[in-house]
Structure 1
Amino acid sequence: MNNLNDPPRWNIEPDQRGREGGDGNHWNYALLVPMLGLAAFRWIWTRDSQNEIQKVKVQYDTDVSTIKSEMESRYRDTLTESRRAVATLELELEKEKQRVKGYQQALVSHSQRLIQERKQLEQEREALNDEKRKSVKSGIAGAALRDALEREASWYQRAAATLRDLEGLLVERQNAYCSLIQPRDHRLEMEKNMLLKVVKDPVAAELGLESDLKDIFKRDKHCADLMNMDKRKNGSLMWVYLKYWQLQITLQRHRRAEEAVFEGRTQSPEK
């Protein structure tokens, strides 16, 4: 069997020829080969590592460039959508401004028309008063007219009571419109009940108040400031209509009395 402690030519031995310190001994060759191998390994490993690093850098730059391009594209798309949305909102806002302006102009025009009608009614009332005074001076005709006016007093009182009720309901309706806490459905229910009331009431129907109420509900959007505690400071168009209605029932009373006198439905005190 082989001696493991002394394998043949496995161990590095000094030069058997007795040369000491020579450059060509086995010891120097034995060290040179591993060092050359290690150097070659390090050179190969370094070159491969540099190649891998370079590949990673190139891939990283490529990925970063791709992500940057995608983010820029998304940013441009988002910016375009935002600008489009802003343009759309500005267009809608301009439309709303024009619509509000149109409402305001219509309200001013309608208010002016009501004022003109009010002036006309006042002129007609003044003319009727003149006729009344002339009739009173004429004796029998004046007495007949006074009698007719007395007979129409009950109708006038009913009409005035109807207007007072409508005034209170309109004040409450406008307060509900201006309130920040009362629901819209509650106000709509109030408007519906008011329209039913004027349709069923003979006096209101005779005065034709239904269309006037609808006009108020549609156009009267005036509210006092938020700190206001007086409900009667709300509304604008409704107060014009209320004055117009009051003049209307006064004029209607005189017309009804005149018709009664002309048609002989009343008698003077001398008869």
Structure 2
Amino acid sequence: MKVFISADMEGVAGVVHQEHTARDGREHDRARKLMTEEVNAAIRGALEAGATEILVNDSHGTMRNLIPELLHSEAEYIIGSPKMLSMMQGIDESFDAVILLGHHARMGQSGILNHSFSGKVVRNIKINGVDYGEIGINAAIAGSFDVPTVLVTGCQFAGAEAEDLISSIETAVVKQTVNRVSSRNMTPEKSQELIKEKVISALEKRSQIKPFKINGPYTVELAYIHSGFADAAEVLPIVEKIDGETHRFESDDFITAFRYIRSLISLASS
């Protein structure tokens, strides 16, 4: 059994503020260690469930967060960016299951540190009229390769977002959001124990969870925080500007649509 883990940071127990998540934050090194330990817990669970190959993709910010010397030896790791598939780099049809670790609710929801790919740039991302965040889009990337997303870990709002999209998915709620920069957290020991148990449970029931797919063709509307970002990204010929802060484009292929989304965000923030 091959298992793919996309490891973000905002949904990790004990991570609550940009001082944790930003590379120059005073608490960033502590958050990196907490993230690495939750990844290791997921790996232990996957191995106990029978995984023979585990690939972990560092998916937060610069994607250079995992601490190599502390990582479990029975997995391989993709670290660094940019990457064509970003948070899902390395996924393909050979995998049996996807785990979204340390994930968070989309921009505009109540979850801790909520955002959609870039909290400084993106207001929302609509695909065929439905608002999706990182959980939905990452799961749909996996679904494009017919791989089911079986577990999401994070706060209660991240869990609810996953459950709204994917029937029978497992969730590991390691903290309860109080507000955008405050949460009631499990201790690292307890959160890691829960993650390990939930990974085992999710992988054992993976045949009951269908790959999440968004049916094409795709009409994507990307709304920015302000019009300056839309102006900067307008150089991409595929987009139509439908108001001062929103671009729209169409695609027949989901992976292509995602690559355009990432390109627009990169252009907007340049």
Task: Tell me, yes or no, whether TM beats 0.5.
Answer: no
TM-score by length of 2: 0.21
Report which of the two structures shows the higher radius of gyration computed on alpha carbons. 1
TM-score by length of 1: 0.21
* Bigger fraction of residues in strand: 2
